[in-house]
């Protein structure tokens, strides 16, 4: 039996009457399709790079247009992701309240909404920012929807590693929005996010691995032991911290960014090794404390990119 076939019958029936739901609740549901909390992280990496590219305060109208375009593009990708994954979302506890599962939005509406946001965001970038940023945003959207969601997610334990490339694109978009070009600085930050994504997401996957196992999604914690996953987290963490320190010798940042990168990176490595220690000790469920690293990972990337934005003013 497939995930779609095993979905509760009420979900399909509810989706047919989506248009009859209260207007306010429907608006909230469409906003939920864009996954606002995830987009917050994307904007945290976009705006500071614009300050670094400008070596100061960029044009605020440009910042606003880039943020709006980025939100619409990422929101479209997330909506299309929910459309494709609506079968397994109905079976996972952490996604059981998504709008397509509850019937607040119908699959047809979700598909049209996602495609519409993709078109609008690309045109907005192209006509108000520049076309390099437009193609980068469209490329990120297509990579997330086609490569990650459709091709990798249900086929390989390395899904989040390569699928995370889509989440790295905002740093390129932020730089290109200001300069209409690319440089080594956004490439380095692209790599920081690339190596950050697996150790950011795998702790969460460890927490909800039963959900993924139930629907046959081979996240690494589903097919490997906690010790193996923790070892991979430590490896990626060391590479991430090392890459984050490249900006200074390349001449893009100074003492402030370096200090923040060392301090935040050192604390990250402490948490990663602590998780590995607990995994090796084979602690019982609930005592692995994997979510400590997950929550710190959000703080880490926020601190690092705030330092990216502040550093130009201190040099």
Asked whether residue 75 falls in the same domain as residue 191, the answer is no
Number of compact structural domains in the chain = 2
**pLDDT-derived band at 194, boundaries 50, 70, 90:** very high
**pLDDT-derived band at 276, boundaries 50, 70, 90:** very high
Write down the pLDDT at residue 1: 38
Asked whether residue 129 falls in the same domain as residue 240, the answer is no
Write down the pLDDT at residue 282: 80
Asked whether residue 297 falls in the same domain as residue 250, the answer is yes
Write down the pLDDT at residue 4: 42
Tell me which of 113, 135, 155 is where a domain ends. 155
Write down the pLDDT at residue 22: 84
- Specify if 288 maps to a domain: yes
Asked whether residue 55 falls in the same domain as residue 116, the answer is yes
Mean of the pLDDT values across residues 41-66? 96
Q: Evaluate whether 72 touches 120 at the Cβ level (below 8 Å).
A: yes
Domain that holds residue 76: 22-155
Asked whether residue 127 falls in the same domain as residue 47, the answer is yes
Residue 159's alpha-carbon distances to 99, 177, 201, 261, 272, in angstroms, are 24, 29, 11, 27, 21
Asked whether residue 199 falls in the same domain as residue 97, the answer is no
Write down the pLDDT at residue 39: 87
Write down the pLDDT at residue 13: 45
Asked whether residue 83 falls in the same domain as residue 33, the answer is yes
- Specify if 5 maps to a domain: no
Is 46 a residue whose pLDDT tops 90? yes
pLDDT tens sequence across 130-177: 999 999 999 999 999 999 999 999 999 999 999 999 999 999 999 999
- Specify if 252 maps to a domain: yes
Tell me which of 155, 174, 191 is where a domain ends. 155
CATH number, domain of 51, equals: 1.10.357.140
What global pTM score does this model have? 0.91
- Specify if 234 maps to a domain: yes
Is 315 a residue whose pLDDT tops 90? no
Write down the pLDDT at residue 207: 92
Asked whether residue 27 falls in the same domain as residue 151, the answer is yes
Asked whether residue 252 falls in the same domain as residue 149, the answer is no
pLDDT tens sequence across 166-188: 999 999 999 999 999 999 999 99
- Specify if 31 maps to a domain: yes
Q: Evaluate whether 12 touches 91 at the Cβ level (below 8 Å).
A: no
- Specify if 10 maps to a domain: no
Write down the pLDDT at residue 86: 96
- Specify if 58 maps to a domain: yes
Asked whether residue 145 falls in the same domain as residue 195, the answer is no
Write down the pLDDT at residue 31: 96
- Specify if 209 maps to a domain: yes
Give percent above pLDDT 90 in the chain.
Answer: 87
Asked whether residue 48 falls in the same domain as residue 138, the answer is yes
pLDDT tens sequence across 101-139: 999 999 999 999 999 999 999 999 999 999 999 999 999
Tell me which of 155, 171, 197 is where a domain ends. 155
Write down the pLDDT at residue 77: 97
CATH number, domain of 244, equals: 1.20.120
Asked whether residue 37 falls in the same domain as residue 132, the answer is yes
Average pLDDT, rounded, for the chain? 92
Q: Evaluate whether 272 touches 235 at the Cβ level (below 8 Å).
A: no
């Amino acid at each position: 039996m497939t995930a779609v076939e095993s979905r509760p019958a009420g979900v399909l029936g509810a989706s047919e009457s989506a248009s009859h739901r209260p207007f306010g609740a429907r608006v909230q549901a469409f906003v939920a399709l864009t996954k606002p909390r995830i987009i917050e992280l994307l904007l945290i990496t976009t705006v500071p790079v614009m300050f670094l590219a400008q070596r100061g305060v960029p044009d605020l109208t440009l910042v606003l247009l880039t943020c709006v375009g980025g939100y619409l593009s990422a929101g479209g990708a997330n909506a299309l992701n929910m459309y494709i994954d609506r079968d397994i979302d109905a079976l996972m506890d952490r996604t059981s309240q998504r709008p397509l599962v509850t019937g607040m939005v119908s699959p047809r509406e979700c598909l049209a909404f996602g495609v519409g946001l993709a078109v609008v965001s690309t045109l907005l970038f192209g006509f108000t920012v520049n076309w390099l940023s437009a193609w980068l945003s469209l490329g990120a959207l297509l990579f997330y929807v086609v490569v990650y969601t459709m091709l990798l997610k249900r086929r390989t334990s390395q899904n989040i590693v390569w699928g995370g490339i889509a989440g790295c694109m905002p740093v390129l978009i932020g730089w290109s929005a200001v300069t209409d070009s690319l440089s080594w600085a956004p490439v380095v930050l692209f790599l920081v996010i690339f190596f950050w994504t697996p150790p950011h997401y795998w702790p969460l996957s460890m927490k909800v691995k039963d959900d993924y196992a139930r629907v046959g999604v081979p996240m690494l914690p589903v097919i490997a032991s906690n010790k193996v996953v923790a070892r991979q987290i430590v490896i990626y963490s060391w590479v991430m911290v090392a890459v984050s320190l490249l900006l200074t010798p390349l001449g893009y940042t100074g003492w402030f960014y370096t200090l923040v990168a060392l301090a935040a990176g050192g604390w990250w490595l402490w948490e990663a090794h602590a998780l590995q220690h607990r995994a090796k000790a084979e602690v019982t469920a609930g005592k692995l404390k994997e979510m400590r690293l997950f929550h710190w990972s959000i703080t880490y990337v926020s601190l690092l990119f705030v330092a990216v934005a502040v550093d130009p003013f201190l040099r």
